[in-house]
């Protein structure tokens, strides 16, 4: 089992992080959009918001672990024939996606911390999360809550835009360039190709 990345591909831990978090982010985006259209007084609405918050915090925890793992491992090199502008776009796109893995949950956390309703956050009905301090210069609690709500929504659009470009790039690598970029995010075979075979 190839646990660590090599210069040729991703190891199983990076692949597991990628797909677990991709599913969580797509799910959170969809649930976020869905739940804002619900009747706020309906009994299920409260529960759905709590699930959104719990899974959002799960993303924040995983993002921290993933970043540590990323810096403790080599980054697979991009194909040599890729033009410089595409390399820059790939690095900026990945940096942007990493940033959103932190910025989305933190903006959500700030939003619920600023809310005049003061609704507690209890992850998966088990772990209580304290509210963050919100600077007074942001105005009343309701004003600060609205500000972070806007920020959270805008970051959601940024996620959608980067996600579309990211998936389009992955498909282009696979079907047009026919290189290993997509394959190495679904299998550790490219990573293993670098190291001597172990039985």
Beta-ladder partners of 128: 122
Q: Is 105 in the site for ligand HEM (CB under 6 A)?
A: yes
Report long-range pairs for 170-175 (Cβ below 8 Å, ≥24 apart): none
Q: Is 184 in the site for ligand HEM (CB under 6 A)?
A: yes
Candidates 52, 134, 188, 191; binder of ligand HEM (CB under 6 A) is 52
Candidates 94, 141, 172, 192; binder of ligand HEM (CB under 6 A) is 94
Q: Is 163 in the site for ligand HEM (CB under 6 A)?
A: yes
Q: Is 32 in the site for ligand HEM (CB under 6 A)?
A: yes
| Closest C-alpha among 17, 13, 19, 4 to residue 74 | 4
3-state secondary structure the chain: CCCCCCCCCCCHHHHHHHHHHHHHHHHHHHHHHHHCCCCCCCHHHHHHHHHHHHHHHHHHHHHHHHHHHHHCCCCCCCCCCCCHHHHHHHHHHHHHHHHHHHHHHHHHHHHHHHCCCCCCEEECCCEEECCCCCCHHHCCHHHHHHHHHHHHHHHHHHHHHHHHHHHHHHHHHHHHHCCCCCHHHHCCHHHHCCCCCCC
Candidates 13, 104, 114, 144; binder of ligand HEM (CB under 6 A) is 104
Q: Is 170 in the site for ligand HEM (CB under 6 A)?
A: yes
For residue 1, the minimal CB distance to ligand HEM (Å) is 19
Candidates 75, 88, 125, 195; binder of ligand HEM (CB under 6 A) is 75
Q: Is 190 in the site for ligand HEM (CB under 6 A)?
A: no
* Closer by beta carbon to ligand HEM, 117 or else 198: 117
Q: Is 16 in the site for ligand HEM (CB under 6 A)?
A: no
- The residues binding ligand HEM (CB under 6 A) are 18, 21-22, 25-26, 28-29, 32-33, 36, 49, 52-53, 56-57, 59, 70, 75-76, 78, 90, 94, 97-98, 100-101, 104-105, 108-109, 111-112, 121, 149, 152-153, 156, 159, 163, 166-167, 170, 181-182, 184-185
């Amino acid at each position: 089992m190839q646990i660590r990345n090599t210069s040729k591909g991703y190891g199983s831990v990076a692949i597991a992080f990628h797909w677990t978090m991709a599913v969580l982010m797509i799910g959170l985006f969809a649930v976020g959009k869905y739940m804002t259209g619900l009747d706020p007084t309906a009994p299920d609405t409260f529960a759905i918001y709590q699930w959104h918050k719990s899974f959002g915090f799960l993303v924040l925890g995983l993002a921290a672990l993933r970043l540590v793992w990323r810096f403790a491992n080599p980054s697979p090199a991009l194909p040599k024939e890729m033009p410089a502008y595409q390399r820059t776009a790939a690095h900026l796109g990945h940096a942007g996606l990493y940033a959103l893995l932190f910025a989305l949950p933190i903006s959500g956390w700030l939003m619920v911390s600023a809310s005049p309703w003061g609704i507690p956050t209890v992850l998966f009905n088990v772990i209580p999360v304290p509210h963050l301090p919100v600077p007074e210069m942001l105005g009343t609690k309701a004003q600060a809550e609205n500000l972070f709500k806007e920020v959270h929504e805008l970051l959601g659009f940024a996620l959608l835009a980067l996600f579309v470009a990211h998936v389009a790039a992955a498909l282009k690598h696979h079907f047009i360039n026919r290189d290993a970029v997509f394959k190495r995010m679904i299998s550790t075979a490219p990573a293993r190709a670098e190291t001597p075979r172990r039985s």
